Structure 1
Amino acid sequence: MAENEIRELLAERTAATHAKDANRIVAIYAADAVKFDLAPPLRTTGASADYVAQWLSTFDGPVAYEYHDPEITASGDLAVVTALATLSAVPSGAPEPFTLWFRTTLTLRRNDNGWLVTHEHNSTPFHMDGSFRAAIDLAP
């Protein structure tokens, strides 16, 4: 049952992002959630609908955000999700869309209202050749 509930939460995140609905996106996070995200800074705490709305406004049209083959481990009121994810969109003013594959790990806690994300870690690998360039051209 926990796994199905968490899959529904992931599907809600995907749908909310596609709809560019910042309030729905942040609704899946605990108020004190810690995020290690792709964009600076290194760490943020909490989920701000204003911040998410600003980020979404940098894209023309819908934004696709999908989890691929998530592995869910749940025990009691705690769960961990690991997956590859994609973000696809057209940046404002850009002629073409992009698709970025990245790694994501979510930690969730169940409370009386269901599951909420308490920690999210997104990352891209980087080239270890001294250039330290993000390896954003990778796909499975």
Structure 2
Amino acid sequence: MTDEATIRQLVADRTRAMRTGDAAAICATYAPDAVVFSLAPPLVQPPEASRDVALMRSWFQEKGGQVWAEVRDLQVTVSGDLALCTSLASMGAPPEAPQPFALWYRSTLGLRRLADGWSIVHEHTSTPFHMDGTFRAATDLRP
């Protein structure tokens, strides 16, 4: 399997893990020193948070056990032991969930080839915001 195919499979596996609430599988995709700028506060996640299975399980429980997830327009660039992925992504929880939501957002992943394979070393997710003075997150956008 090529590096690009392996990385595309990693992204697909993470997406499937979101849909099934598999916290351990998601956390296993991160390098121990990963830098994560996620949608949730604070501005940067604590270094250990991305690999904290209990924290991820708690997040899933708040959403009803799993969330809808989709990745589209995935672009993968590989150069040696580094790779960059950009995509549009969606996630959501159904109306009957404790915290229902649905949104599309932008995702960038930086990966490094480590001894045991490709791992996420940098993640940045964001939503655009309305530039009309409200500065309201534009979570209503659809591709």
TM-score by length of 1: 0.92
Residue 62 of structure 1 aligns to a residue whose secondary structure is: coil
- Secondary structure at the aligned position of 2:14 is classed as helix
Provide the aligned C-alpha RMSD in A.
Answer: 1.4
Shift of 1:61: 5.1
For residue 130 of structure 1, the aligned residue among 125, 133, 136 is 133
Q: Which amino acid aligns with 1:93?
A: P
SS at match of 2:67: strand
Partner of 1:110: 113
CA-to-partner distance for each residue in 1:76-117, whole Å, 9 max, x for gaps? 0000000000002126336xx542100000000011211000
User: Contact between 1:61 and 1:89, CA under 8 Å: does it hold in 2?
Assistant: no
For residue 139 of structure 1, give the secondary structure of its aligned residue in structure 2.
coil
Structure 1's consecutive aligned runs of 4 or more residues displaced over 3 angstroms after TM superposition are 91-94
Tell me whether 1:51 sits opposite 2:55 in the alignment.
yes
Question: What corresponds to 1:81 in structure 2?
Answer: 85
Post-superposition shift, 1:64? 1.8
**8 A Cα contact 1:3 1:74, kept in partner:** yes
Deviations 1:110-138, CA, capped at 9 Å, x for gaps: 11211000000000000111111000000
Pick aligned residue for 2:98 from 93, 108, 119: 93
Alignment coverage as a number of residue pairs:
138
Give 2:7's aligned amino acid.
I
TM-score normalised over the length of structure 2: 0.90
